[in-house]
Structure 1
Amino acid sequence: MPLVPSLFLLLLLHLSCSPTVQLAAADEHKYTLVAMSSLKPKATCSGYRVSPPQNITWVPLNHPHGPCSPLSDAATPSLAELLHHDQLRVDGIHMRLSNDTPGDSKKTQSDQNYQTESYGNVLRRNIDASAAAAGSRSSSLPGVLQTFVLDTASDVPWVQCLPCPIPPCHPQVDSFYDPSRSPSSAPFSCTSPTCTGLGTYANGCVNNQCQYRVVYPDGTSTSGSYIADLLTFDASNAVPSFKFGCSHAEQGSFDSRAAGILALGGGPESLLSQTASRYGKVFAYCIPASSSYSGFFILGVPSLASSRYVVTPMVRFSQATFYGVRLRAITVGGQPLGVGPTVFAAGSVLDSRTDITRLPPTAYQALRAAFRSSMSMYRSAPPKGILDTCYDFTGVVNIKLPKITLVFDRNAVVVLDSSGILFHDCLAFASNANDRMPGILGSVQQQTIEVLYNVDGGTVGFRQGAC
């Protein structure tokens, strides 16, 4: 079965899109009026708020739990579960970066076993097989349609493969990929350069077939054969001999009902590295504001003019596969926080699977104070886990929400969408343990913004209102 995961990127359960109503002229640059009704999820999928840019590798991206998701019949995690998994993800990132220093995009990386469970983004594509695909724009393609979690901070793509008893495998919504039914499926011998190059992901040899294993900091893992097959995006875009892990066993719990992980990190095993000669190590995505809408994923240079993006240098971490940026300032309601750029010196990791943005404590405390001051007209509510600034909006029709702006290197200014400010009626930011830890720019804050990763060019672009 050629691996054709339909890039149907699904994001975590978040707030709905936030239509606004008119504000007084004095406030329109400082606040947004958000209708409370817009924060409630819809029962049906509304499609696209904004038409996606037409690109040869464009595919839909959705939250994993909601009417637009192919995983919509899976149990929706509670807020406590979501925040628990989010913290595991953050702890894993910080563990890898604990001895690292942010630098420029030309630094090399070492490949380490890393991945914590989170609900993350998922995508659908087909793996070549005799079975027919179903359920997405690529349903006419041969192969098995699979739903993947999109991960910008891991290197090894993998999918569950038959035989895959449950347990140790987990249930999934799609038919299991069966390499024995694919004429293009090919295992790697244990002496092949591909196998010997797996490094810390290598897991020995079975019947002269290369084995892989990825171990995550929370104790979960995936293991099986390392093979190649055809990965198809659409009728004119396919990746022959795409290398990935054929997972036959897992340890720990994989809470999503997706088939596996599509990794976009900087290591040689990732999708981005494997397709560099064709797509130039460029990709972009736009996470929708809610589970009622769809976003998109693009592999390769977008068709839009570069002037549509604000651009900042990409920060790379020499001991990890992560992509990052450097914050310089934050404004709330048009007023800059009294925090100097040195507070953000450790850089910020861009991550598709962390939900809540983590800031250095000095910056977070200033942000929280400014936000609370701007929201003093609303009733406060008890904290919800790490979310310590929450509100009771009972009876409130419209929320006067202060605008939050992130300012990156080279004065790249990004105004957050309303859906990137409130999460379950709480300020959608949290604090790191200390100012020395790198920040993490999570998926909630990225909502409705196209994030363009030009890895070889060493830049990150942002385009607001893209989905």
Structure 2
Amino acid sequence: MVSPPVLLLFILCSCYYIAHGGDDEHRSSVTLEPRRATVSVPLVHRHGPRGPSRNSDKPSFTERLRRSHARANYMMSRASHVMVSAREDDANVSIPTHLGGSVDSLEYVVTVGLGTPAVPQVLLMDTGSDVSWVQCAPCNSTRCYPQNDPLLDSTKSSTYAPIACDTGACRKLAGDHYQNGCTGGGTQCGYAVEYGDGSKTRGVYSDETLTLAPGVTVKDFHFGCGRDQRGDNDRYDGLVGPRFSLPSLVVQTSSVYGGAFSYCLPARNSEAGFLSLGAPPGAANATGFAFTPMRRLPGVATFYMVTLAGISVGGEELDVPPSAFRGGMIIDSGTVVTGLPHTAYNALQAAFRKAMAANPLRPNGDLDTCYNFTGYSNVTVPKVAFTFSGGATVDLDVPSGVLLEDCLAFHESGPDVGLGIIGNVNQRTLEVLYDAGRGKVGFRAGAC
């Protein structure tokens, strides 16, 4: 049997700071070890042996796909219009806005340190979010969900400070249409994030020292100190959001790492991948990487997009016209299966079924090309490869990057004129490098 799925990961970078000049109050100070150009953090599956939810019941296959489809639908609608809402108030904290977020299909976590002295925090990594947050004390059981670690106590840190309302950092968080970045007459800047699945977090927007690795700290890191969380969260301490906008981790550290980052999602949830800030050695010269131009969706700066030019199955290129890919493909670590436009998906499904004709299909209500491998000691899965604009060709890992629960990890996303999404299953074992400074996305095989 093929190993069970590894849902999500991580992270999108931003060149908002680079392109817009930034703001002194959003420019964090990064302290590095001598001659250290990049920093990497282990990335593990939430339900794996080293994850915070290892002893919890993980969602069913159907539930994970439901969340993935909901996330993909949200992102499609987000591409059409930016979802911003404002509601609720707080007597002590001014809430500038509800920042639209993605659906919670998050599954990969990293461990960082927060505060002085540094306290370990296990955080979900979400490419669809920009505001990072943790649960903070005081917070009772009706306001915060259970987590394995103690709640972060800001009174025990010598570097914690709430951000004031009348500051550039708060105004940037709120947007230009909120007076001074605050509402309700409070003195502390508040944050409130409501995700597409209805879960939410709110609290005080704050400054703190973030420790990424021994000797690597980010001073004056802006994050949310959450005191009111609602939704189906499970055992982790918070979230780190590096989406393509302020105030993400990648934006706040762009003066050091240049707006570049990479990650690798492991093939199995018992293994560890990594998240790295900064371009890896040799990437500038394309050593080991296949690069394609980074594409922007006009009016929406929050997604990384590429142009798919072709697909092959078993070394044979599919007969799909370029027009079938003209909508572009969003790369997302939180969406599970890849959504292809109608013509491309039908061609892929037909070619894959033909190559797998010796194996019996089985019914499945979630995906339409699933197999029964019971009694088969050897199963040959055909290689699937993507070709991107510029000629970059990337072989997906076999079988972990092609099959999910013995099902083809693709579905139809809609008509050819629409967007597609490259999900996290197809990204397994690849190092995916987002180099905003050079305007390209790179792929390196066998990285984790």
Kindly tell me: are residues 203 and 394 of structure 1, through their superposed partners in 2, closer, same or farther at Cα, counting changes over 3 Å? farther
Q: 1:159–1:245: 8 Å Cα contact kept in structure 2?
A: yes
Partner residue of 2:188?
Answer: 209
Task: Work out whether 1:399 is the aligned partner of 2:374.
Answer: no
Where in structure 2 are there 5+ consecutive unaligned residues?
8-35, 83-97
Partner residue of 2:167?
Answer: 192
Match of 2:111 among 119, 124, 127: 124
Kindly tell me: are residues 435 and 167 of structure 1, through their superposed partners in 2, closer, same or farther at Cα, counting changes over 3 Å? farther
Which letter does structure 2 place at the counterpart of 1:60?
A: P
Partner residue of 2:131?
Answer: 156
Partner residue of 1:416?
Answer: 396
Partner residue of 1:14?
Answer: 5
Cα distance in structure 2, aligned partners of 1:465 and 1:203: 47
Partner residue of 1:41?
Answer: none
Shift of 1:203: 6.6
Match of 1:328 among 309, 323, 331: 309
Task: Work out whether 1:354 is the aligned partner of 2:315.
Answer: no
Match of 1:165 among 127, 132, 140: 140
TM-score, reference length from structure 1: 0.80
Which letter does structure 1 place at the counterpart of 2:196?
A: P
Task: Work out whether 1:337 is the aligned partner of 2:318.
Answer: yes
Partner residue of 1:313?
Answer: 293
Match of 1:249 among 228, 234, 240: 228
Which letter does structure 2 place at the counterpart of 1:245?
A: G
Which letter does structure 1 place at the counterpart of 2:75?
A: I
Map 1:289-304 → 2, pairs under 5 A: 289-304=267-282
Q: 1:85–1:119: 8 Å Cα contact kept in structure 2?
A: no
Partner residue of 2:32?
Answer: none
Secondary structure of residue in 2 paired with 1:328:
strand
Number of residue pairs matched by the alignment: 395
Partner residue of 2:150?
Answer: 175
Task: Work out whether 1:261 is the aligned partner of 2:220.
Answer: no
Cα distance in structure 2, aligned partners of 1:405 and 1:167: 48
Q: 2:52–2:235: 8 Å Cα contact kept in structure 1?
A: no
Shift of 1:264: 1.2
Match of 2:255 among 273, 277, 285: 277
- Describe the superposition over 1:294-335 as per-residue Cα deviations: whole angstroms up to 9, x where unpaired: 111111121245321010011122324111111110001111
Q: 1:159–1:261: 8 Å Cα contact kept in structure 2?
A: yes
- Describe the superposition over 1:123-151 as per-residue Cα deviations: whole angstroms up to 9, x where unpaired: 1101114xxxxxxxxxxxx4211111112
Where in structure 1 are there 5+ consecutive unaligned residues?
1-11, 17-53, 101-110, 130-141
Q: 2:38–2:279: 8 Å Cα contact kept in structure 1?
A: no
Cα distance in structure 2, aligned partners of 1:81 and 1:239: 37
TM-score, reference length from structure 2: 0.84
Structure 1 segments of 4+ aligned residues over 3 angstroms from their partners: 200-207
Cα distance in structure 2, aligned partners of 1:304 and 1:62: 25
Partner residue of 1:78?
Answer: 60
Shift of 1:165: 2.0
Shift of 1:99: 5.3
- Describe the superposition over 1:188-231 as per-residue Cα deviations: whole angstroms up to 9, x where unpaired: 11111111221259673575111111122332221111001000
The two structures, once aligned, show a CA RMSD in angstroms of 2.2
